[in-house]
Amino acid sequence: MPARVTVEMVKNDPEVRDLIDMADAYLNVAGYTDHGIGHVARVAARAGVILRELDLPKRECELAIIAGYLHDIGNVVHRSSHAQSGALLAIPILTRLGMATREIAVVAGAIANHDEGVGEPVSNVSAALMIADKSDVLRSRVRNPKMISFDIHDRVNYAAEKSELFVDKEKHVITLRLQIDTRISQVIEYFEIFMSRMKMSRRGANFLNCDFRLVINDVQLS
């Protein structure tokens, strides 16, 4: 009989940690923001909170957290199509740990669909992962603050002093609240590079029967 694979089993698995660390190391060389344990832990936590606040089954919450920890391991192969690579890498890991095939399919489907452009919400776990990943805009993700004047992605992340996600089950609303230092980056720059991510977050929220709202510096923008 398949085992009930827990978040701790995945989080503490040496192979998982090595893949997270190496994927992040490769992205560091390529000049990307932090995609290491800090990022995946925040995404995992948020994905779990989204489903828990909506009173969805506890096991779905756990699978969302597991998907969050694994969602970026595909970057160890290449940034391009990393979502699909990550899903394929996750399957044998979860199989080794003893997870049931149907649960593996849920986690793999969520990982494979978390990136903008080609991703679509295919399950509650998938929708939660989309929103959690796209909401992680934060100053601490910037590796080299000296580059913010040259790279718009770094500049927008560095300007984000606070990023909070709220779920209102009664009103069916998921809200991302950002506090941005406009001396570093104007709000319009956020929309220049993150519009596709916000559209994806809205699709994920709609799948969960919710609206998605974006509030920047206490002003609701969507």
| pLDDT digit string, tens, across residues 143-193 | 666 555 556 677 777 777 888 999 999 999 999 999 888 888 788 877 777
Nearest to 82 by CA among 73, 90, 91, 69: 73
Please give the tally of structural domains in the chain: 1
Q: What's the CATH code of the domain at 163?
A: 1.10.3210
Q: pLDDT for 97-125, tens place per residue?
A: 999 999 999 999 999 999 987 899 999 99
207 in a domain, yes or no? Answer: yes
Of the ranges 40-44, 45-49, 114-118, 198-202, which one carries the lowest mean pLDDT score? 114-118
**Does any domain span residue 92?**
yes
Q: Could you report the per-residue pLDDT of 188-200, keeping only the tens digit for each?
A: 877 777 788 889 9
Q: With 70 as the cut, is the pLDDT of residue 57 above it?
A: yes
Please give the full DSSP string across 30-83, using - where no structure is assigned.
HTPPP-SHHHHHHHHHHHHHHHHHTT--HHHHHHHHHHHHHTTGGGGT-STTHH
Q: Running DSSP on this structure, what letter comes out for residue 147?
A: G
40 pLDDT above the threshold of 80: yes
In a domain, 1, yes or no: no
Range(s) of the domain holding residue 169: 7-220
Which band of pLDDT confidence, cut at 50, 70 and 90, is reported for residue 31? confident
Q: Supply the pTM of this predicted model.
A: 0.91
* Structural domain contains residue 118: yes
